[in-house]
A = this chain, B = another copy of it.
């Protein structure tokens, strides 16, 4: 019995899932009566009107979660104040524009030299269609949205391991691969190898499916046939026009395709749920979401106020704050405190607050247990959108490469205008560490050199001095891109979902959507619901105390 009590509902379902696939999970859910859980986003918690009257809340950090919490709590009458260490609100939601600065520890300050109508989304750059909380706030805050193009069959893949190191169009790689896979499977089906598992009409249907799936001809071969006229998925060397039905692209060698290992370099990322069509972006930059919040609650945000100490008392929180401009320190108190600071920074602050800070040891352990992941981006303002010219015809989307830069994003807006900003690098893990460690000039030289392997004409259109780079692991008040729960015991995560006295943590860092604004908003909702429960007296506080043995969990939380 003691053993059994350890299983949370979630863990149980994961166990069922591991044993029987998601159908089994689904059936168990139905059996457990959990299918009544609402499928769809139901909006922010409905806090009773005026329920927060007379209650004070200090929010540490003006990221998306902090802004959401302040916005919603204010509606219910709470008196909120946001302390933000940086000179601007938004946190990782940062759209870099002309005259903006990029600060990184150990690096000189960069100034953005873009034209006034150009920008780089240095943090988040896209919104999935199922991130309904973000989309709902965009509506509420009058943030106009447009389509973000994630998958573009004209974009490229490049590796030195195949195709003589030359880029190949996505449409060729994607469709030649589909064709070869369909061809091989059709071959063995026709050799009756799978007869045992293909019952009834299955075999005939499967062959018909493979023909359509892989664009196979009547003999189940992947090769051009006149019936694909004008529509050969891999594209054309000479486009169909008045005088010719077009000359189709020759098939890529399958061995070359396999040697390229393109699939290990995020080629199929646009199939994944988080990046499936239809994706969105705010018109004019991701920071339009921050602007939207600020139009409502700008007066609640105090910039340049760095939290340097915390005292977590039974009935409230005291915050020691330093003005980063003057160095002056101040103390502030509130009934409730919600920390939107990255957990590693909160950990430092709690450490600096001494043994008597009043924090629960288990909570402190949990805060300390979650590292942040390194990630870098590069922005290039091009003098001309060469990627949109007749030779490239790339409108939005992403080219992939096995190089350090990992990917190049093309702008999904203002097509056919003259200039544009490319995201010239977006990387992770060791690539991000190595790239971030370079000095600023070396970063740009490297990113330029690697971009030139994808687009040989790149340096003709992109001036080196209009490049910008950001390594989020070096950015003050951030020190990373998102919480990395790989190898972190899930009990720490569960602990962070509950307050320590009247102190909560919030942000995408305490959600199953790390790195996504949706996670930040849902976390803020989760926290303010608990705050409201405390106020209304229905809240049961988390048990305090240390867990002694923390095995490294087999179950790991994911990364974006």
Residues of A within 8 A of B (CB): 10, 13-14, 17-18, 21-23, 25-27, 29, 34-35, 37, 39-42, 129-130, 132, 135, 138-139, 145-147, 149, 151-154, 171, 175, 177-178, 181-182, 184-185, 188, 193-194, 199-202, 205-206, 208-210, 212-213, 215, 221, 223-227, 229-251, 254-255, 258-259, 261, 263-264, 267-268, 271-274, 276-278, 280, 390-391, 393, 395-397, 412, 415-416, 497, 510-513, 519, 522-523, 525-526, 555-558, 560
Contact = CB atoms under 8 A, between A and B. Distances in A.
A23 to B, nearest CB: 4
B278 A396 contact: yes
A28 B240 CA distance: 18
Contacts of A263: 208-209, 212-213
Contacts of A223: 21-22
A278 B395 contact: yes
B245 A395 contact: no
6 contacts: A14-B226, A21-B224, A138-B416, A188-B193, A209-B258, A209-B261
B393 A229 contact: no
Most buried by B among A39, A206, A238, A271: A271
A29 B250 CA distance: 11
Contacts of A247: 13, 22, 25-26, 29, 34
A513 to B, nearest CB: 6
A277 B397 contact: yes
Given A171-B273, A390-B41, A23 B416 contact: no
B237 A206 contact: no
A153 B277 contact: yes
B213 A268 contact: yes
Contacts of A210: 181
A276 B41 contact: no
Given A232-B273, A395-B129, A249 B22 contact: yes
A209 to B, nearest CB: 5
A273 B497 CA distance: 48
A403 B238 CA distance: 37
A235 B555 contact: no
B184 A182 contact: no
A418 B395 CA distance: 29
A22 B251 contact: yes
Nearest to A153: B276
A29 B212 CA distance: 28
Contacts of A178: 271
Given A153-B276, A209-B258, A235-B273, A245 B37 contact: no
B277 A201 contact: no
B238 A37 contact: yes
A267 B209 CA distance: 11
A316 B513 CA distance: 72
Given A130-B154, A233-B276, A278-B396, 11 more contacts: A26-B247, A34-B247, A40-B391, A129-B395, A205-B261, A209-B258, A212-B267, A231-B274, A240-B513, A277-B397, A280-B395
B181 A250 contact: no
A393 B132 contact: yes
A255 B240 CA distance: 39
Contacts of A206: 258
A252 to B, nearest CB: 10
Nearest to A27: B250
| Residue of A42, A154, A393 with most chain B CB atoms under a 10 A cut-off | A393
Given A233-B276, A273-B171, A242 B512 contact: yes
A226 B556 contact: yes
Nearest to A279: B395
A274 B247 CA distance: 15
B181 A497 contact: no
A226 B132 CA distance: 23
Nearest to A38: B238
B243 A274 contact: no
Contacts of A258: 201-202, 205-206, 209
A212 B277 contact: no
A277 to B, nearest CB: 5
Q: Most chain-B Cβ atoms within 10 A of its Cβ — which of A206, A237, A240, A278?
A: A278
B243 A21 contact: no
Contacts of A233: 271-273, 276
A393 B129 CA distance: 7
A10 B244 contact: yes
A237 B273 CA distance: 13
A95 B246 CA distance: 30
